[in-house]
Chain A
């Protein structure tokens, strides 16, 4: 038993090491590509910033930003600055990139995490209910919802939610993150947490009201993913045998489903959510655009369209690294929960 556990731990460590090397590779490749891309931008970004570019002023700003030094020097300076968190100033707003990211980043994370949580609960609930109610009609309806979640474009769904929830029913606001006529809770940038920390339940309600439509819209994709992956698992006849064996052992239904079966199903759910995190991120960006949500997606797109040098260099690299980290963590979690499965990178 101990030998087997040591072996499992060794395999897990090797997998962690592999992911660590991949992370370094992702960082090097992404930073080189982004740096090259930024240096190949047609037109001088500094001149683009100034309405009437005076050559002396342009030269002064280029010197200030270190843009007149050799490219290898600029690259190393870029990597070191990124690691140190010294991300320069936006060429468009003149604000520090780090401060701007610390404003937009919590908005995206708050939206994505709540949507992910709701999506997994929704997917699990729908699929488990098909097992409880053995009605074919309910089962087909539930799994059709799963198919719809993967085929209906999220940005269009967002508009339909606005039409129904905001225009027809008038229950929810059509866009934005908070009612700015009210005092915005200050602190971490996560409005739910900040409202709770300030003890303002009225502000918490407002936060939820603004979150409701975008979260529900974004949650349908993970819900559909969970539905589809669990549908395949439930079709496996070995699961029925396991449930019968656990019942024969005298375990209660809640113990069977909430402890044994849920643990068994968590590995594929974590894997599918982790490997599809990229699509979820794209969904978050689209949702931000539909609901005028002040998040990282809109910020980065505007930076790319406006050729905002330092925002592109640092914001894009940060998001790529984070996306890779989340996918790898999900992969490792699934690996830990079920060590017999092969790593996705194999």
Chain B
């Protein structure tokens, strides 16, 4: 793998970790309007990204916001993989009728855009962070299921796996020492792709106001909240998008790296 991809790989991990630290520490409270008299002031040594329209340190909001976005995307990703794996297990091991139903269901599911799935879920549940995570994870299930299925079938029927099985390897050994090392690079690549898609979809849905609380520090929601200040202070809109784009760009560029 090229040196540049390795650099992007480390940069993406660094950016993700730095964002997540925003959940534990921010220089100022991102929710409190402590600097009302300084509203809309530009960057200074005390406030690196300035103050937003409601008198809050914008840097702290951005840091917490990127942390929240990444954390939510990771939760959506985990839920997505869990559902995908459960469906795959049933499809591979379950009765033939269930296999047919799952494959047919996935065929239907894949045709419905995430936004519409999100809207249907919003009808059941109130707009909130949890609802958003459920919507994004359910929306990407068909993609994950199909990729997992292709990977599994390809590896499970590979000659080296059949040879190991013939030599008397047990199921646990086969899974942990034969299949897993070969599945891991592709799974990591898939996970990064889904993470990038989830970040984009989550912030998009939050931007549309489906996150419930408009004050919740999430990059899409921050952008939405500052939409009305676009002509007064464009940087309040520029920064959240720049951070989001950088995160996505790094994740995309690093996903071809093999483990």
Contact = CB atoms under 8 A, between A and B. Distances in A.
A153 B230 contact: no
Chain A interface size, as a band, is 35 or more
A41 interface: yes
B179 interface: no
Given A42-B126, A289-B207, A304-B123, A323 B237 contact: no
A34 B115 CA distance: 14
A147 B210 contact: no
Contacts of B111: 22, 26, 278, 323-324, 327-328
Contacts of A159: 223, 227, 230, 234, 237-238, 241
B210 A301 contact: yes
Contact of B122 (A40, A148, A155, A304): A304
A300 B249 contact: no
Contacts of B231: 167, 174
Interface string B3-19: 00000000000000000
Contacts of B237: 156, 159, 163
Given A150-B252, A153-B203, A328-B111, A162 B230 contact: yes
B123 A151 contact: no
Interface string B221-254: 0010001001100100110111011001100110
A345 B106 CA distance: 9
A148 B252 CA distance: 10
B79 interface: no
A37 interface: yes
Most chain A beta carbons < 10 A, residue from B107, B204, B242: B204
Interface stretch (A84-92, A110-118, A279-287): A279-287
A292 to B, nearest CB: 10
Nearest to A164: B234
Contacts of B223: 155-156, 159
A293 B115 CA distance: 17
Q: Which 9 A-B pairs have the closest CB atoms?
A: A156-B241, A278-B113, A37-B123, A282-B115, A151-B248, A324-B111, A152-B245, A151-B249, A159-B237
B124 interface: yes
B107 A281 contact: no
A87 to B, nearest CB: 16
A281 B204 CA distance: 12
10 contacts: A155-B207, A156-B240, A156-B245, A278-B114, A279-B113, A286-B204, A307-B123, A319-B116, A320-B112, A320-B116
Contact of B107 (A22, A167, A285): A22
B185 interface: no
Interface string B181-197: 00000000000000010
B108 interface: yes
A29 interface: yes
Contacts of A305: 122, 127, 209-210
B116 A163 contact: no
Interface string A116-129: 00000000000000
A25 B107 CA distance: 10
A191 B107 CA distance: 36
B208 interface: yes
Contacts of A26: 108, 111-112
